[in-house]
Amino acid sequence: MSTDSALLAVLLTIVTASTPLLLAALGELVTERAGVLNLGVEGMMVMGAVAGFAVALTTGSPYLGIVASALAGAALAVPFGFLTLNLVANQVATGLALTLLGLGLSGLIGESFVGQPGVRLAKIHIPGLSDLPFVGPLLFGQDVLVYLALALAVFVSWGVFRTRAGLVLRAVGDNHASAHALGYSVIRVRWLAVLFGGALSGLGGGYLSLAYTPQWIENMTAGRGWIALALVVFSSWLPGRLVIGAYLFGAVTILGFFVQGLGVGVPSQLLSSLPYLVTIAALVAISRKRGGGGDAPACLGRSFVPDR
Amino acid sequence: MKNWSALTRRDAMKTALLGSVALAAGAAGPAAAADKLKAAWVYVGPVGDFGYSYQHDQGRKAVEKELGDKVVTSYVENVPEGPDAERAIERLARDGNQIIFTTSFGFMDPTIKVAKKYPKVKFAHATGYKRAENVSTFSARFYEGRYVIGQIAGKMTKSNVIGYIVSFPIPEVVSGINAFMLGAQSVNPNVKVKIVWVNSWYDPGKEADAAKVLIGQGADILTQHTDSTAPLQVAQEKGILGFGQSSDMAKFAPKAQITAITDDWDGYYVDQVKQVLAGTWKSTDTWDGMAKGMVVLPPIVNVPDDVKAMAEKTMAGIKDGSIKPFGGKITKQDGTVVENLDDGAILSMNWYVKGIDDKLPG
Amino acid sequence: MRFELEKRSERSLVMAWASPVIAVVATMITGGLIFAILGKPPLTALWVFFVEPFSSLWSLQELVVKATPLILIGVGLSVAYRANVWNIGAEGQLTAGALAGSMVPILFNSWQSPLTLVAMLVLGILGGMIWALVPALLKVKTGANEILVSLMMVYVAQLLLDWLVRGPWRDPHGYNFPKSVSFEDWQTMPTIGDGRLNIGIVIAVVVAIALAVLMRRTIKGYEVRVMGEAPRAGRFAGFSADRMVIFVFLLSGGLAGLAGVIEVASTVGQLQPNISPGYGFTAIIVAFLGRLDPIGVVVAALMLAVSYLGGEAAQIALGLSDKAARVFQGVLLFWVLACDTLILYRPRLVFGTTPEAAR
C-alpha cells in the first residue's frame, strides 16, 4: 500500500462528503443574507434526494435527476415562503415544520423506490488530464456537481458582493424598513432568496442519492441539513469561508474512519462525535472573534409587514 | 408519476384484505375472522429496507402463502426499540393475535412484560436470551456464513488486507468478525483484517465513506455487518470484490458481490404458526444455521472455480457438522488459548481472535 | 391580484379561539386528501386515526403515557421560546438527564430507600441542566448561536449514552448486549391503574400549572415576555438578557432531563441505546402547537399523542405507512402557524396595482 494512494483515497472521499454540505449551505447563505432563517434545510434536502432519485431512475438520466432535485427543494420552500413571508409566521417554527414535512413526505413518495439500484452520476473524464497521477482524479476526475458547487460558490460570492442585485439582497437582510422605504419589494426579494435556498438544498440532497450513494432510503440526509446550517454561521455569511468550512467538516468526518482503519483503539463513539464537537468549537471561535454575531444580517429571522 | 400508481394499487389491495378484517373484528366483534388464526409481526425497520426487516416480512408472506385461509397476518414496521415497543406489542396482543413475532433484540424486555399480561398469547422473540412459558426465542447462526466468506476472502485477497465495516459491538457482530478471521486464516496465515465501526445499522453515506477509506488503506476485499448496499457499490466502482449482508445485493453490484449472508425465516415461521394451529406450540430456544436452511448464501460468483469449490466444500462440512468454525484451538488477541467453544461462549463473545487489527470497543 | 395583510387594531379574541379550530379542520381535510391519494378510504382512515385512540381505557392510558414527556419538555421550551431563546437540543438534555438519573440504579444498585427515586429524579434534572448550560454559557460568553450548539450537543449526548451502555454501564449478566441492568421496583415510577400509566403525568401537570402561574402572575413571567418581545425595553427596565438566557436554558433543560429520567424509570425500565423516539424534537412542535402557553402545551401534547397512537392503529388496520403520521404532524403545525396569523392580521386579496409600486 502506498501512502500516496491512501492519501488520495482520503482526499477524494473528503470531496464527495463535503459537496452536499456545500451546496445546501450556499443556498441557506443566500436565504439568510435576505434576512430569512429557514431551518427546513434538512427537509428540503431529503425531498431533493427522493425526487432526484425517482426521476433519474424513471428517465434513466441523472442530469434530469439533478434538475428534479433542485425543483423539489424549491417546491418544498414554497409553503415556507408563503407562511413566513406572506403570513408572517414564526420562521423557526415554520422551518422545523418544513423539516418534519419533508422527512415524512419523502418517505411516503420514496416507499416504492427503496431497495432499487439508482442511476449513478458519472465522473467526468478529460483525456490526458484525468489520467495524471494523483492530481488527475482529484482535480479533473470528479462529477459535475462537485464543480457546480464550487462554481456556485464563486457565483454567489460575486453576486452578493459585486452586483446591484446583491446589494439589494443585503439591504433587505440588514435593514428591511429602509430597503422598503427605498422602494424595493422586501417580500419579493425574500421570496427569490427562499426559492434559491430551497433549490440548492434540494441539489445537495440530490447529490446524496445520485452521486454519493446512488440509492434511496428514508431519512438518507441523516442530519446533514443541520450541519449545513451550522456551516453558514461558521462562514460568517461569506461564501469563501463556507467552502473552507464545508471541506474542513468533511475532512474531520473522514479522519475518524481513517484513524479507525489504522487500528488505534479509540472509542468509535468519540471519533463519531468529533465533527459535532469541532463544529461547536468553530462556532465559538468565530463568534468570539467578531464579538457576538456581529456579521449576521441584522434582520435575520425577523418578519416584515409593509406598513400602510 | 409511474410508481405512485403502483404504490397506490398495492396499498389499496392491502387495505381491502387487512382493513376490512381488522375493522370488523374491532367494531362488531369477531365475525368472519373468528376461526382464523391471527399472527402478527413487529419490525424494527421498514419492510422495504431489502435487508433485515424485509427478510422477516418474507417469512410472514411465506406463512400467508403456505397456510392461506387458515391465518390472518398483520405487522407494525419501524417500531423504535424504546418506550413505544411495549405499546405496539401489547396492541397486537389486545387485537386478538394468538402468536406475535418480535424481530429485534431491543424488543426483548417489552415482549417479556407483555407476555406476562397476556398468558394465552404466544410470543417468539428474535436474537434475545429471555424466555418464558409463552415466549420462545430464535436466532440464526450467522457466524457459519461468515466463516465461509472469510475463507473466500482469504483466498482472493492479493494485498492480504481485508476491510470490514461494522455497526455495533454486540456479540453477534463480534462472533461474526472472529468467524470471518478464522475462516480467512485457515487458508491464508498472512491475512489482516481492518475494522471500521460506523455506529449505525443503516447509513449509506457513512458506510460508503468507510469503504473508500479502507480501500485507500490497501483493502482489496470488503465485507460488512451493516445493512446498506453502499459498500458494495463502492467496491464495484473501484473494481474490487465484496460480500452482501442481510439480503442478496447482486443487483446493486453484480460485478463486486461474491455472495451474501442472508437469513431465511420462512421455515421457522411456518412451523411455529402450524404448531399454534395444531395446539402443540411450546416455548423453545431455536438457534439454527446452514444445516436447517436458516442461513443461506446465494450462488457464489466472480471467483475462480477452485475457490468456489472450496467454499462449497466448507459449506457442506458445516452442514454435516464436520467443520465447526469455533471448534479446535483458538488463540485470542491477548495470546490466551481457548478450545471448542460452546453456544454460551459464542453468544456472549466479547474478544477478538489473534490477527485482527483493532481494539474491541467497550 | 395580490395577497396582503392588514394589521388589526387589536388582538382578535374571536380569532384566538377560532384559529386552532380552523387549523384542525384544515388539517383533517388535508389529511383526508393525503389518505385518498394513498388509496385509503379517507373517512375510515380519519376515524381510525383520531377516534380509535379514545376507544378503550387501555389506549387512553397509553395516550397519557405518550403525552407525559411531551408535556414536561414542551412547557419548558414554551417559556424559552417566549423569551426568544431557541433551545432545540431538548433531546440531548433528555438523554443527559436519563444518564444522570440512571447512575443511582446502575452504580448504587442495592440502595433501597424511599429516597432512591427522589435522588434519581433530582439527578435527572441536574443532568439536563448541565447539558443545557453548555449552549447557554457559550451563547452568553461568546455569542455562539444557541440553536446550533444545543443541536450539536444532542449528537454528543447520544454517542455518550451509546458508549456507556455498550461499555462501562453494560449489564454484566446481559451477554454483552448493549443495555444496563433492569431497574428494580423501588427504582421505577409508581404506576396508577393497571397499565403503564404512572405518577409522571401528575408531575407533568403540576409543572405545567406552576409554569402557567409563573408566566401569568409573576414578575419573572413578565420579564420573560418583555425580553422576548422587546429586549431593548427590557434592558431599560433593568433586566439582563444574559441571565434570561441562562434561566430559560436551565429551566427547559432541567425539565427535559426530568422527562428523560422518568422515561427510563417507567416505560423503558433500563438504560439502552434508544430511550426516546425523538421526544425532544417532537416537543418543539408541541410548544408551538400549544402557542407557547403552558396550558396550551398540555392540550397540544395530547393531540400529538393521538396522532402517534392513531398512526399506529392505522398501520395495523389499514396498512397505512408510518410516514403518514409524520406528514400529518407537519401539516398540522403548518396550519396552526398559518391560522395564528389571523389573530393579529386580516388577510386581503388586493386587485390592481400594488401599493408598494404606487408608492
Nearest to A228 by CA among A8, A35, A34, A46: A46
Q: Which residues contact A126 (CB under 8 A, 6 or more apart)?
A: A140, A141
* The 3-state secondary structure of chain A, one letter per residue: CCHHHHHHHHHHHHHHHHHHHHHHHHHHHHHHHCCCCCCCHHHHHHHHHHHHHHHHHHHCCHHHHHHHHHHHHHHHHHHHHHHHHHCCCCHHHHHHHHHHHHHHHHHHHHHHHCCCCCCCCCECCCCCCCCCCCHHHHHHCCEHHHHHHHHHHHHHHHHHHHCHHHHHHHHHHHCHHHHHHCCCCHHHHHHHHHHHHHHHHHHHHHHHHHHHCCCCCCCCCCCHHHHHHHHHHHCCCCHHHHHHHHHHHHHHHHHHHHHHHCCCCCCHHHHHHHHHHHHHHHHHHHHHHCCCCCCCCCCCCCCCCCCC
Q: What is the mean pLDDT of residues C245-251?
A: 97
**Residue A270 with chain B: CB contacts under 8 Å:** none
3-state SS, residue B223? strand
Residue A244 C-alpha cell reads as: 473552507
Residues in B touching C178 (Cβ below 8 Å): 168, 170
AA letter at A170: R
Domains in chain C, please, with CATH?
A: 67-310 (1.10.3470)
Which helix (H) or strand (E) segment holds residue C2: the answer is: strand C2-7
B37 forms bridges with which residues in the sheet?
B71
Question: Residue with C-alpha cell 426568544?
Answer: C84
Return the higher-pLDDT residue of C39 and B322: B322
**Nine-digit cell string for A273:** 462525535
Q: What are phi and psi of B122, to 5 degrees?
A: -95, 145
Nearest CA in chain A to C2: A86
Q: Which of B247, B261, B262, B268 is nearest to B62 (CA)?
A: B268
Which CATH number is A3-289's, of 1.10.3470, 2.60.40, 3.30.1600, 1.10.10? 1.10.3470
Rounded distance between C-alpha atoms, residue C147 and residue A227, angstroms: 12
Contacts of C315 in chain B (CB under 8 A): 76-77
Residue with cell 422605504: A181
pLDDT level of residue C1 (50, 70, 90 thresholds)? low
State how far the Cα of C9 lies from the Cα of B105, in Å rounded to an integer: 60
Q: Do A87 and C156 touch (CB under 8 A)?
A: no
- Stretch A118-145: mean pLDDT: 83
Residue C331 near residue C316 (C-beta atoms within 8 A): no
Write out pLDDT tens, residues B216-257.
Answer: 889 999 999 998 889 999 999 899 999 999 888 898 899 999
ipTM score of complex:
0.84
Question: Could you tell me the pLDDT band of residue B29, with boundaries at 50, 70 and 90?
Answer: very low
Beta strands B329-331 and B337-339 are: antiparallel
Residue linked to cell 424595493: A184
C336, HSE (Cβ side, Cα atoms, 13 Å):
22
Identify the band that residue C174 occupies on the pLDDT scale cut at 50, 70 and 90.
confident
Question: In angstroms, what separates the C-alpha of C96 from chain B's closest C-alpha?
Answer: 16
In this model, does residue B58 exceed pLDDT 90?
yes
Between A267 and A168, whose confidence is greater? A168
B contact residues 157-216, partner A, Cβ 8 Å cutoff? 159, 161, 163, 194-199, 202-210, 212-216
Among chain A residues, the shortest Cα distance to B237 is held by A120
Residue B20: pLDDT over 70 = no
Touching subunits of C (3+ CB pairs, under 8 Å) are A, B
- Do residues C20 and C356 touch, judged by C-beta distance below 8 A? no
Grid cell listed for C163 = 458508549
Domain boundary assignment for chain A? 3-289
pLDDT, position C359? 40
Of the candidates C288, C338, C354, which has its C-beta nearest A87's C-beta? Answer: C338
| Alpha-carbon gap, residue B176 to B210, rounded angstroms | 19
Cα separation, B126 vs B76, in Å, equals: 15
**Is some CB atom of chain B closer than 8 A to the CB atom of C176?**
yes
Take residue B133 and report the three cell numbers written for it.
412459558
pLDDT at A91 exceeding the cut of 60? yes
Beta-carbon contacts of B346 under 8 Å, excluding residues fewer than 6 positions away, are B143, B171, B175, B326
Residue C224 in contact with residue C75, Cβ under 8 Å? no
Q: In what order do the strands lie in the sheet with B356-357?
A: B295-296, B257-263, B241-246, B221-225, B161-166, B192-197, B356-357
Nearest Cα to Cα of residue B204 among B245, B240, B169: B245
Contact C23, C335 (CB under 8 A): yes
Read off the pLDDT of each residue in B263-283 and give the average, rounded to a whole number.
95
Q: How far is A275 from chain B (nearest CA, A)?
A: 13
**Which chain C residues are within 8 Å of B90, Cβ to Cβ?**
58
Question: Which domains are seen in chain B, by residue range?
Answer: 2-141+265-288 (3.40.50.2300), 142-262+326-357 (3.40.50.2300)
What is the overall mean pLDDT for chain A? Answer: 89
Region C14-42: what's the mean pLDDT? Answer: 87
pLDDT more than 70, % of chain B: 90
* Helix/strand/coil for C263: helix
Tell me the C-alpha distance between B59 and B75, whole Å.
12
C-alpha cell at B217: 488503506
Report how far residue A275's alpha carbon sits from residue A170's, in angstroms, rounded to the nearest whole number: 31
Instruction: Say which residues have a Cβ less than 8 Å from residue A297's Cβ, sequence separation at least 6.
Output: A32, A33, A34, A35, A170, A173, A174, A237
Query: Are the Cβ atoms of A58 and B2 closer than 8 angstroms?
Result: yes
Give residues 45 to 74 of C whose Cβ lies within 8 Å of B. 48, 52, 56, 58, 62, 65-66
C322 at the B interface (CB within 8 A)? yes
Q: Would you state the pLDDT for residue B303?
A: 95
Cell of A51: 425526487
CA A171 to CA A180: how far, in whole Å? 9
Closest CA to B77 of B103, B98, B96, B113: B103
Q: Who among A101, A280, A305 is closest to C327 (CB)?
A: A101
Range of lowest pLDDT (B260-264, C311-315, C352-356): C352-356
Distance between CA atoms of residues A289 and A287, nearest Å: 6
- Confidence check: pLDDT of C356 > 90: no
Put simply, whether A253 touches B (Cβ < 8 Å) is yes
Instruction: Determine the distance from the C-alpha atom of residue B298 to the mean position of all C-alpha atoms in its chain, rounded to a whole number.
Output: 14
Alpha-carbon radius of gyration of chain B: 22
> For residue B8, which residues of chain C lie inside 8 Å, CB to CB?
37-39
CA atoms within 13 A on the CB side of B31: 10
Residues B295-333: tens digit of each pLDDT: 999 999 999 999 999 999 999 999 999 999 999 899 998
CB B97 within 8 A of CB B88: no
Contact B163, B221 (CB under 8 A): yes
pLDDT higher than 60, residue A62: yes
Helix (H) or strand (E) holding B7, with range, is helix B2-14
Could you tell me the pLDDT band of residue C291, with boundaries at 50, 70 and 90?
A: confident
Amino acid A307: pLDDT = 66
pLDDT digits (tens, 9 = 90+) for C198-215: 999 999 999 999 999 999
